[in-house]
Structure 1
Amino acid sequence: MAFRTRIWARRARVVGVRVARLVRTGVAGLVPGSRHVVRAVHRKWRRSLQFRTVLTTLMLAIASFAVVGAYLSNQIANNLFQERLAQAESETRYNVKQVQDTFDGAQVTDQSSVITLVYDTLNAVEGRGSVIQRYVFEAMPDQTKPRNRWVESRASDQLTISVIPTELRTAVQDSGKEQFWASTEFPVGTQDRPGIAVGNKVTFNGTVYELYLIYDLNTAQKTLDEIQNVLLAGAAALALMIGAVAWYVTRNVVSPVSHAALVSEKLAAGQLQERMVVKGEDEVARLGASFNHMAASLQEQITQLATLSQMQQRFVSDVSHELRTPLTTVRMAAEVLYDAREEFDPINKRSAELLYHQVERFQSLLADLLEISRFDAGVAMLDAEPTDIVQVISHVLDGVAPVAAEYGSRVTLNAPAESIIAEMDDRRFDRILRNLVLNALEHGEGRPVSISVAANDTAVAVAVRDHGIGMSQAEAARVFDRFWRADPARARTTGGSGLGLSIAAEDTKLHNGWLQAWGKKGSGANFRLTLPLHQGGIITKSPLQLEPADVGIPGTGRERTLVLLDPSVPEPRLAVGKQHGDGLPNVEGDPDGGAPDGGAADGGTATGTADAGSTGSTGAGTKEWS
């Protein structure tokens, strides 16, 4: 027997473990599904006005039905109970009177007759009345037992005195002839039923008995359940009807709004012929008509503006092309006069020089206008290929060396020791950087200009920092506008066309890059160009900060530095920059980082005018990167 018990216990543990595992697996599968449903409902709630309106209406309707249904159910249950209670009290009084009259008129002296009389009388009470009733007959405790008390207690089938609440028994025992009642439950077969127990006292053969009649409320409970089911079904049907009505009404209101949103998106995408469908004469129809009128007006204005823009672009392009031929002739004549200016008197010599420089400026302006017209026409193409950024920057610095010498600005390049290869159009990058450097020299008031280069995993950045007059935030926001000048009264001294930064911004857009400006009055300005390393790449963060932390813009990691021009050197000398162990170049012939022949060098920085492999500039030298 013990062996079988252990086997069954082991089997029970195995079954329990398997059931727990299944429950855990089911719960683990339900949690993600429930989260997905909750997220879907939340997303639908945020994005759909119709869904939000219908769901809110249903929730309010269900809450209202719940309150009203609970109130009605409570009232109906209370009325049914009060009706059954009044009936039970009335029938109990009548039955107790009949029992007491029967006991009082009985002429029995033997035990068998007494038991038969009590049994028959109580059975007659159980079958009498319109409501099924049962009884419990019990002699009161603490009584002197007479010789002829042959009946102590009696009850209907399956009933005992325990089904009578203690409070009711106490009230009956302590009373005289009053009648008391209490709610109770009593067993019928295998289930418990609700009922009302009504108690009284009766006397038989000198013994006082407690007589409790129990009335079955199962019929009333079934009636209440049916009423509640009807209320529930009616509430569900009404909720569905209200939801359907709310859906239909909101659909009639939301559908035109959704259609208007769709038409607005198409209009924003350039489909100016799209219009709303107008039906009826109500407020929604008037909204659609007004929307269509607005769309037609916008289409007309946009068409006019597009036509004017095309005419402007065509005019600029045509004029620029038509001016190229006479400008070439004028330039040739100006070059002849400029070359022969030494043979002229001072007045004519100055006139020849002015003519030559203004023709050069006019040709630059014409070239910029042609480039802008290509951008406006959308025909500008990007010819990207892998390019060493530092080499292009060195070429730009060689080209602007004469301008830097003219202004007396010290130009410094800070770049990483290793090469930075990026996919870009080197011609457009050269033009962007040249515009930024010339702009810094023009507005730098002869103060130092620094160029910093840095790269990360996705982008490369070049920052051009000057310490000149600076500009405000409002001016920095407009600095890339065409022909915009911070000070219209200020004369141009470098022959700029006013389109350089605008063209630079357009070139940057072709590269899918950023061109940003920072400035502060009296502290100079900083222009930051950020380009993706690979064509089609997305820039998430620039390797250089836009607002300088201090006077200079430090590079990152190991650096190589070239001072393009130092006005403190009386005569430019040949300078060869070599990589120091600390990341800075050193002048050849001075291992300690000093400047040869009195030239100034700070931290291993080569001083002089440098030319990246070319000798076309006055006082130019050569430089070498290690």
Structure 2
Amino acid sequence: MLARRWRQSLQFRAIAVSLSLTALAFFVTGSFLSHQIADRLFSERLDQVLASATADFEQVQASFDASDASDRDELQALVASTLGSLSVDGAETERWILLPMDFTSGQTLIPAQSQSPWMTSSTVPPELQERLAEQDGVFWQPASVRVTENGEEAPVIVVGTVVDLYQNSRYGLYLVYDFSEPQRTLDAMHAVLLLSVVVLLLLVGAIVWYVTREVVRPVSSTARVAEQLADGDLGVRMPVSGSHEVARLARSFNRMADSLQDQITQLEQLSSMQQTFVSDVSHELRTPLTTVRMAAEVLFNAREDFDPVNRRSAELLYHQVDRFDALLADLLEISRFDAGAARLEVASVELFSVVHDVVEAAAPLAVSSGSTVRVRSELSRCTVQGDQRRIERILRNLVVNALEHGEGRPIDIVVGASEVAAAVAVRDHGIGMTEEEAAKAFNRFWRADPARARTTGGTGLGLAIATEDTRLHGGRLDVWGAPGEGACFRLTLPRTRGRRLVPDDESPLGLPPDADAYPETAVVTRTGTLALASAAAAEPAPPAAAQPTDVEEDRS
């Protein structure tokens, strides 16, 4: 979900990046400030503690030195009265612990004792005790110790020094200072910082959302208008208000849309005029052409009575009239495609039957060209829902084209099918074509070699009409070629009515297919004989199809 929003929304991306960078900046700044404030609070409190502890140590040592107590009871009373008077600003943030150390007499005048019964020798960090045993001075160390009767622990600073109680009897005096208050202050500061960061992030997010909305909204509007224009709604325009950059963009976009609309309208008018012209000319030429054809037939039938020169002229006239008639028929068919008036007469079509009819009809051309036509497939039957007349016309154009350019070499026609599609590939081994020529093969009146004459009397519109017939069925017509290796045209049709092949739909045959991998099911020899062979496999079952009806071509 978030990944899709990231890809599709500039506003979401801007807000996410802004919040991430702002949060990172707040984290770095807050960490630095928190560290600095904590250090300052700790340093100030530590200075106060050390100053207070030093003064207390001096006071205790002076009291011990001035006392003339000599026995255990007197010393115990001295310790109790001296240490009991210790305090810091009247607050009970200081507690003391007195622990015996090595002394010259070898006796312990008084035992270890503390202000609070839950504070014992284990309260003092061992490292601090070892340091006092090694050298004189005032030392401190942080710790976490029990400070109340209910066992609650708190952060403390333990400050220690060595005091002489009586006749060089050394004791470690430790003052425990509670740092709970500075810690609570620091915790409160952290909470305030965290709350401030959350509030600032929300504020920054709201500001970025508002700013990006104002910036992205015109871009989104432009995208919507562009999509509507791409869908054919040429009258849609962007709203224009103000004189800022976005308004200038909207005006420029609208001017571009106006220009495109005018040009498209002109092109549509020109196209309509061209279609009308071609259709009208073709129809108008029908009547005189019929008259000329009748006259040409009369002359052709009587050619034996003419001298050789006139006989040849009659033959040329007859054949050229035939070609002109075919050209007019193709022009009329192309005009119907351009006008969107072509219709399908859908029925169940058996591809092998169509292929055999086409091959048998092209047998005289195969004999004259010297090519052997071989039909190959692993199937015995293959049916599709389509217009048999148009499918036959497609295959006839492909086969005739292969015979014309096959240079007398064998022609392979391979039939294959899957559950969703059926395919027929026509492969020749003639002159071939380059990739650039293959890309233009379906253009109207295009020739790879303009200087080469047509040997079959074609009009130059056969492959263009085959392409339109294929598109009308929702199929694909692909071409492959290599100079000196030949060419291959592959027709792929959906097996059920109403389905249109998409680029992801694979054809049952490769381009070109490995023809030798498929057994021969029929062959036209150089004598023009069509020989059939049996095939072992059955066709794949296509999905259920609806009842065939006429379907108009979708030209949108």
| Common fold: TM-score over 0.5 | yes
Structure 1 pair 502–115 and aligned structure 2 pair: CA distance change class (3 A):
same
Tell me how far apart the structure 2 counterparts of residues 200 and 429 of structure 1 sit (CA, whole Å): 109
Secondary structure in structure 2 of the residue aligned to 1:382: strand
Shift of 1:228: 1.3
- Paired residue for 2:284? 322
Name stretches of at least 5 consecutive residues in structure 2 with no aligned partner. 539-556
Structure 1 pair 262–578 and aligned structure 2 pair: CA distance change class (3 A):
closer
What letter matches 1:171 in structure 2?
A: R
Structure 1 pair 138–581 and aligned structure 2 pair: CA distance change class (3 A):
closer
Name whichever of 110-119 and 434-443 sits farther off.
110-119
Tell me how far apart the structure 1 counterparts of residues 238 and 381 of structure 2 sit (CA, whole Å): 58
1:248 is the counterpart of 2:248: no
Tell me how far apart the structure 2 counterparts of residues 532 and 319 of structure 1 sit (CA, whole Å): 36
Match of 1:481 among 443, 462, 466: 443
Structure 1 pair 111–350 and aligned structure 2 pair: CA distance change class (3 A):
same
Check the 8 A contact 1:139/1:153 in 2, yes or no.
no
Tell me how far apart the structure 2 counterparts of residues 382 and 388 of structure 1 sit (CA, whole Å): 16
1:566 is the counterpart of 2:529: no
Secondary structure in structure 1 of the residue aligned to 2:95: strand
Matches within 5 A, 1:209-248: 209-248=171-210
Tell me how far apart the structure 2 counterparts of residues 283 and 417 of structure 1 sit (CA, whole Å): 66
- Paired residue for 1:307? 269
Tell me how far apart the structure 1 counterparts of residues 355 and 275 of structure 2 sit (CA, whole Å): 33
Secondary structure in structure 2 of the residue aligned to 1:535: coil
Tell me how far apart the structure 1 counterparts of residues 537 and 53 of structure 2 sit (CA, whole Å): 112
Tell me how far apart the structure 2 counterparts of residues 382 and 181 of structure 1 sit (CA, whole Å): 100
What letter matches 1:350 in structure 2?
A: R
Structure 1 pair 576–284 and aligned structure 2 pair: CA distance change class (3 A):
closer
- Paired residue for 2:392? 430
1:544 is the counterpart of 2:509: yes
Task: Give me the CA root mean square deviation.
Answer: 2.3
Tell me how far apart the structure 1 counterparts of residues 90 and 470 of structure 2 sit (CA, whole Å): 102
TM-score of the superposed pair, with normalisation by structure 2? 0.90
Tell me how far apart the structure 2 counterparts of residues 301 and 85 of structure 1 sit (CA, whole Å): 85
- Paired residue for 1:188? 147
Shift of 1:107: 4.1
Structure 1 pair 529–146 and aligned structure 2 pair: CA distance change class (3 A):
closer
Match of 2:123 among 163, 166, 176: 163
Structure 1 pair 399–91 and aligned structure 2 pair: CA distance change class (3 A):
same
Name whichever of 99-108 and 259-268 sits farther off.
99-108
Structure 1 pair 575–446 and aligned structure 2 pair: CA distance change class (3 A):
closer
Name whichever of 95-104 and 309-318 sits farther off.
95-104
Shift of 1:282: 2.3
Check the 8 A contact 2:375/2:520 in 1, yes or no.
no
Name whichever of 372-381 and 134-143 sits farther off.
134-143
What letter matches 2:453 in structure 1?
A: A
Matches within 5 A, 1:103-114: 103-109=64-70, 111-114=72-75
- Paired residue for 1:44? 5
- Paired residue for 1:22? none
Deviation per CA, 1:387-434: give whole Å up to 9, x if none.
111111121122222322333332222244512111121000110111
Q: 4+ runs of 1 displaced by more than 6 Å?
A: 580-583
Shift of 1:171: 2.3
Shift of 1:127: 6.3
Matches within 5 A, 1:459-498: 459-498=421-460
Tell me how far apart the structure 2 counterparts of residues 110 and 257 of structure 1 sit (CA, whole Å): 96
What letter matches 2:125 in structure 1?
A: P
Tell me how far apart the structure 1 counterparts of residues 228 and 221 of structure 2 sit (CA, whole Å): 11
Match of 2:132 among 172, 176, 187: 172
Structure 1 pair 144–432 and aligned structure 2 pair: CA distance change class (3 A):
same
Check the 8 A contact 2:385/2:497 in 1, yes or no.
yes
1:139 is the counterpart of 2:100: yes
Name whichever of 72-81 and 524-533 sits farther off.
524-533
Check the 8 A contact 2:522/2:533 in 1, yes or no.
no
Check the 8 A contact 1:417/1:559 in 2, yes or no.
no
- Paired residue for 1:99? 60
Residue identity (%)? 49
Structure 1 pair 559–457 and aligned structure 2 pair: CA distance change class (3 A):
farther
Name whichever of 362-371 and 345-354 sits farther off.
345-354
Secondary structure in structure 2 of the residue aligned to 1:301: helix
Tell me how far apart the structure 2 counterparts of residues 536 and 324 of structure 1 sit (CA, whole Å): 35
Name stretches of at least 5 consecutive residues in structure 1 with no aligned partner. 1-39, 584-626
Secondary structure in structure 2 of the residue aligned to 1:286: helix
Check the 8 A contact 1:458/1:538 in 2, yes or no.
no
**Matched residues, number:** 532
Secondary structure in structure 1 of the residue aligned to 2:337: helix
Tell me how far apart the structure 1 counterparts of residues 451 and 371 of structure 2 sit (CA, whole Å): 24
Matches within 5 A, 1:55-94: 55-94=16-55
Tell me how far apart the structure 1 counterparts of residues 219 and 28 of structure 2 sit (CA, whole Å): 35
